[in-house]
Amino acid sequence: MDGALEAPEGTLWKLHDRDGGSARDVLKYLLYEPMSHNVYLPEHTDFNTVTTLFSQPVAGLQVKGADGSWKWVKHQENAILINTGDNITFLSGGVFKAAMHRVVRPPEDQVHLRRIGLFHFSRALDGTLLLPLSQSPVAQKEGKNMFEPGTQVLTTDEWERARTSVYGTEEK
């Protein structure tokens, strides 16, 4: 990502370095039991920088395409999938987009199987301002501040709190 943003090597890594800081990465293991409902996890973007997950043979993960349609993420043996999150959208000024995705009921031939997931959510250090990287000519030239003019620019931890505070709520 540093290369695509023409930033010095290690720029993004330094925003995640734990020496003296708190990045609070999360490693999550999830077991999805066979269920009768159609959506296990509704459409969303991850609020972190990058999510890595291991490909698995039981389908369930879908990504929203540019045309608005949902596409199955096909299993590839021994593959690791990379999912971009909100923080990389902010830090790249929108050059990288957070991937809209969801987890749904597997196809009928797999619906009786358990789905297992192993996920690593990489989080930038607390207090990192979510502005286009000043070290990136691409983010500075092609990117933009993703916050509305006149609004407060949030930090990584503030963005996480704002996003997670609305989990499980709905507008009526």
pLDDT at 29 over 50: yes
Segment (H or E) for 156: helix 156-164
Handedness of CA 149, 152, 157, 163 (dihedral sign): negative
Please give the pLDDT value at position 127.
Answer: 92
Q: Are 10 and 134 in contact (CB under 8 A)?
A: no
SS (HEC) of 53-74: EECCCCCCEEEECCCCCEEECC
Residue 62's domain comprises 11-164
Please give the pLDDT value at position 36.
Answer: 77
Domain contains 2: no
Kindly state the DSSP code that residue 110 receives in the 8-state scheme: G
d(CA 64, CA 57): 20
Dihedral, 20, 24, 27, 30 alpha carbons, nearest 10:
170
Domain contains 25: yes
The enclosing domain of 26 has a CATH number of 2.60.120.330
Q: Specify the number of domains making up the chain.
A: 1
Residue 149 to residues 129, 135, 136, 144: CA-CA distances in angstroms? 15, 22, 21, 11
pLDDT at 168 over 60: no
Domain contains 110: yes
Please give the pLDDT value at position 78.
Answer: 93
Enumerate the H helices of 36-155 as residue ranges. 86-91, 137-142
The pTM (predicted TM-score) of the whole model is 0.87
Domain contains 24: yes
Domain contains 1: no
Domain contains 36: yes
First to last CA, the chain: 40
Pick from 162, 127, 129, 155: which is nearest to 21 by CA?
A: 127
pLDDT at 63 over 90: yes
More confident position, 80 or 36: 80
Domain contains 6: no
Residue owning tokens 């370095």 = 17
Domain contains 3: no
- CB neighbours of residue 109 within 10 Å: 8
Strands 50-54 and 80-84: antiparallel
pLDDT at 67 over 50: yes
